[in-house]
Structure formats: C-alpha cells, structure tokens
Structure 1
Amino acid sequence: MVDDKECMYVFDRGYLDYERFDRMTDAGYFFLSRLRKNATVRVLEDFKRPKASAVLSDQMVVIGTPQNRAENLFRLLKVEDSKGNVLHLITNRFDLSAEEISEMYKARWAIELFFKWMKQHLRIKQFYGQSEWAIQNQVFIALIVFCLHVLTQIETESQRKILQISRYLRAALWKSPHLWRRKIQGRAGP
C-alpha cells in the first residue's frame, strides 16, 4: 500500500539483527529499533543534543564486535521514557532531529497498544479478504459490533462485562428480546 522506500520501519529489539540493518540500509530502507543495553558500540561522533529534552545523547556509531560488526554507520540515541528508563534507539536516519526520532518510537507504542486492545476486544479470528478495503470493512464491522455491545450494556444498566453480554446475545440471537435483556440485567426469569 505504501512505497517501501518512503516509509520508516519501527520495530522492537526482538528483531535485532546487524546483517538485516546493513541490508536495509544498503537497499535504501529506513528503520528505527531498540538496541540492547549490552550491545557493543563504538562511538565515532557525538552530535549536539537539544537542551530540556528527553534525549540524553545523540551519536554516530558502529555497532557489533570485530567478529560480528555492521558495515554501515548508524545513529544511536539514548532517550528517557516516561517512567525514567533509558532506551537505546538505533536508526539509519541522520536527516531527522533527535526529537522526531524519539517521537516515532513513542508512536510505535501507541500503535502496539491499539492492536493489543483490538486483539482483546474485537472478534477477528481471520481476515476474509486481502484487499485494503476488505480488511478495513472487517475491522469497521468488528468495531461497530463492539460499540453495539457497549450500548447494550449502557442501555440495560448492566454490571456484566462486554464478553458476557456478547455471549448472551449470541446464545439468544433469535429469541425474544425480553429474555436476553433479563439475562444481561442479571434478573432471573423464564
């Protein structure tokens, strides 16, 4: 959907691979990743860092040991997150400011949280189409169903969880609304 060379790949340290970083850089792709704290780094140049910023350092580095070293030069940012932890971010982008790179990584977490929420609340087991529109439609339908369950919970003033409401509605789909309304509200009845 997007030209690969115009986008920025942002991933976590689980995908840490120096050869991959070199291949991506040589092919003209941009990336941003977290580097392990114990990674071997040789600093070539320190860049001026902005004052009153979460960026602790901004450096041009070579990563890896002499036996397993990346061929390209990279940019290492040490950034403090909202909890005070120091993150080591590695990228091949030298044209962006340190704050812009830091914000890109923060945005990655917002996306991660959104997908985590989707997995927990929307019932999408598989996609039935492969086009962009098919996937968007299926996600929108799942969001609409979730919103209808929330509205049902609000309307019935139920203390039950959305998952329980969803199960009651599925079980009593073709039955009288009075039956599932009683179930959702927690009242006994026929």
Structure 2
Amino acid sequence: MDKNTLLSSFGKWVLPINTEKINEQVKFLKQDYYTKKLTTGAYIKLLLFAQLHEFNSLHAISDALLDEDLQITLGFESISASQLSRKNNNLDPAILSTLFLDLVKKIQEYRHPSTRNLPLKIIDSSTLPLNLTNYKWAKFRKTKAGVKLHLRLVFMDKDTVYPEKAVITVAKEHDRNQLEVLVDDKEAMYVFDRGYVDYERFDRMTDDGYFFVSRLKKNAVIREVESFSLPEGSTVLSDKMVLIGSTQNRAENFFRLLEVVDSKGNVLRLITNRFDLEADEISEIYRSRWAIELFFKWLKQHVEIKHFYGMSETAIQNQIYLALITYCLHVLIQLETNSKKTLLRISRWLKAAIWKPAFVWIRRFEEET
C-alpha cells in the first residue's frame, strides 16, 4: 500500500492484505499483462471501498472516483464502468479466494475459545437469487436462478465469528454434497442443521474421528438403547443412546439423542457422536448455530451481494469473495483493538473517518470501551 493510504483509516483497514503475495499470484496467472491503470491491486482496493459503501452498480463505483482522496489512493483520477466490468469478468477468482484464506489465517492467530479443547465450527448455506433472464447458467427452477454460498463459520464467542471456508456453487447443488468438503479438521466440533442429515455420512464421520451435533428430522426412525439420567435443573428433556434409521436406511454406529425445547416452545431432537459432554453443553453448542444465520443476514444487509456487478460466474464469485474479505477485515480490527463493538458500528466509524488519520478511527474504540 502507498504512504497516503497507510496514513488513513482506510489504509489501516486494508493493511492486513498481503500485497506481495497478491502480486506474485497476479504475475503467475498473467492477470495484469497490458494493464496500465486498473491493476489487480487497485481493483481490490476500489471494490473493497465499494463493498464498504454498498455501491449497487459499476456506474456508482465509477462516480465515486470524484473523491480526490480515493484518486490518490488508487493512483488514477477516473475509471469507466466498462473497464471495471472487463476486470471484474476477467480476474481469476483464485486470487480473491487466496486473499480471503490469507486473512482467515491472520484471524486464527488470535486465541480461540473451545468446547473441551475443540473449536466450534458451524456449517450452513445461503442462496443468493439471480434473474433467470441474465443468469441462465445458474438456473435451478423453472423461473428462478441463483448461486449458493456454502460456508464454514468459526464461533469464537457471541461477539466474534468469522468465515473460515467458502464454496460457491449454483443454487441447485444440495447442501449434503458439500459436507465432506467443509468437514476436514478432526480437531473441531461441527454444528449443522437437518438439511445435512445423511446416515451414511454420519457413520463415516464417526469412523474417521470427526465430531458433530445436528438435528434429526421429525420422521426419523430411532431405537433406544440406553437412557441417561439428567442433572437437577437441566433444560434438556431427555438424553439417550440410540440407533437411527430404518432397516433399509440406517446408521451402524450408536449415537446420542437429546430432546430440547427451542425458544418458540418446539421440541427438537439433537443427534451427536459425543458422549463425553454434559447434555446441557450439547444443547448450548447447537444453540450457537444461530450465529451463522446472523452472519448471512449481516452479509445481505451491510455489504453488496444483492446487486451483482456482472453476469458471468467469474464476476459473481469475485463479488462474493470481496464481501467475505470485507467481513474479515472488520473482524481483524475488532480483534486487534480487543473491542466488543459490533461490526456494524466498526463499519460506520470507518466510513465516517475513511480518509482521516487512522488514529482518529482507532481512538473511537478506546473512547467507547
């Protein structure tokens, strides 16, 4: 980053980006050949600025360059929407994917709370709707198109979560198909909803040493093997060892089945392969799944993934990765300042102090402590 950027709040925000690594990858993939103005580095800074301000079109991004401070940061005074479109459609998503994963590694350098020494990882997906007329390649129903963001979210605590792994597919891809891709760490406790229920995979995960807690469908067939006593004052209704599935479709391993009541008074049946935790611990672990719902809600409300800047699969993937990178940069500031302020407030303060010296922005965290 240039000296002008480093002196600003914006420069402080994007400082974790490893420009040297990006430049090496750009050179290897021959991305900036014959590019004089909108280099990959400038594109990333400009599009992150656009994500921060939730610009809904390339024309809005182009118009933003009336800002002289932005001009100084990027090194040019103007860029057309057509030039932005070409870059957006031609940039290899592998570059932004690598940048996203590099920021994840930086987040992981901070200490993670754990559940009996296992970090908590939540798996889910969210469908992003598209116009079928313009996105025929993403068709998944007669009149609908869309892409699906399959995500693994790490739960550090109720104030801090971050996306650790992302897979982008067309919307017709079933969630269960991505479970094995997203479950790859035996030193973790995985949480996912009933959309991922697959008895064969449950057996395979258990045999391979992966731990999970999920929710069974209402029509699931179960056979009780043993009932466990519950401590006085427990919020869990029942705790059992069971076999799950019918004769035609059943799991071979024994699992633990808990019945709990959700906030709406509904009885949920939770299934897990961990027998070493207290029943209420399992219940609390599953309750943490709400964090990924809030994460998807935050993405859709506070960065720009409702209006896409391009119609190609490449353009869609690049914009989604930029949204995830924006989130990770916010988390890094949150962790660096040891702040419990919401990411929304962090983002608002950043926009208010965007070209002011970085200490003006950071000082706000200390004043609000």
Q: Which residue of 2 aligns with 1:156?
A: none
Whole-Å Cα distance in 1 between the matches of residues 228 and 234 of structure 2?
14
**Unpaired segments ≥5 residues, structure 1:** 153-190
Cα distance per residue 1:56-103 (max 9 Å; x no partner): 000000000011110100000000112211110000000111011100
Contact 2:330-2:346 within 8 A present in 1 as well:
no
Instruction: Name the amino acid aligned to 2:229.
Output: K
Q: Which residue of 1 aligns with 2:216?
A: 35
Return the offset for 1:120. Answer: 2.0
Contact 1:54-1:81 within 8 A present in 2 as well:
no
Return the offset for 1:147. Answer: 1.0
CA 128–146 in structure 1, closer or farther in 2 if over 3 Å, else same: closer
CA 52–151 in structure 1, closer or farther in 2 if over 3 Å, else same: farther
What is the TM-score when the length of structure 1 is the normalising length?
0.68
Whole-Å Cα distance in 1 between the matches of residues 345 and 320 of structure 2?
17
Q: Which residue of 2 aligns with 1:93?
A: 274
CA 44–145 in structure 1, closer or farther in 2 if over 3 Å, else same: closer
Return the offset for 1:16. Answer: 0.7
* 1:14 pairs with one of 192, 195, 203: 195
Cα distance per residue 1:41-67 (max 9 Å; x no partner): 000000011232220000000000011
Q: Which residue of 2 aligns with 1:44?
A: 225
Query: Residues 58-73 of structure 1 correspond to what in structure 2 (within 5 A)?
Result: 58-73=239-254
RMSD: 3.1
What is the TM-score when the length of structure 2 is the normalising length?
0.36
Return the offset for 1:113. Answer: 1.6
Q: What is the percent sequence identity of the aligned residues?
A: 63
Whole-Å Cα distance in 1 between the matches of residues 296 and 323 of structure 2?
19
Contact 2:330-2:347 within 8 A present in 1 as well:
no
Larger Rg: 1
Instruction: Name the amino acid aligned to 1:90.
Output: I
- The answer to whether residue 329 in structure 2 is matched with residue 137 in structure 1 is yes
Return the offset for 1:116. Answer: 1.7
Contact 2:256-2:275 within 8 A present in 1 as well:
yes
Contact 2:299-2:323 within 8 A present in 1 as well:
no
CA 140–43 in structure 1, closer or farther in 2 if over 3 Å, else same: same
CA 120–19 in structure 1, closer or farther in 2 if over 3 Å, else same: same
Cα distance per residue 1:131-187 (max 9 Å; x no partner): xx88722776995784159869xxxxxxxxxxxxxxxxxxxxxxxxxxxxxxxxxxx
Contact 1:122-1:143 within 8 A present in 2 as well:
no
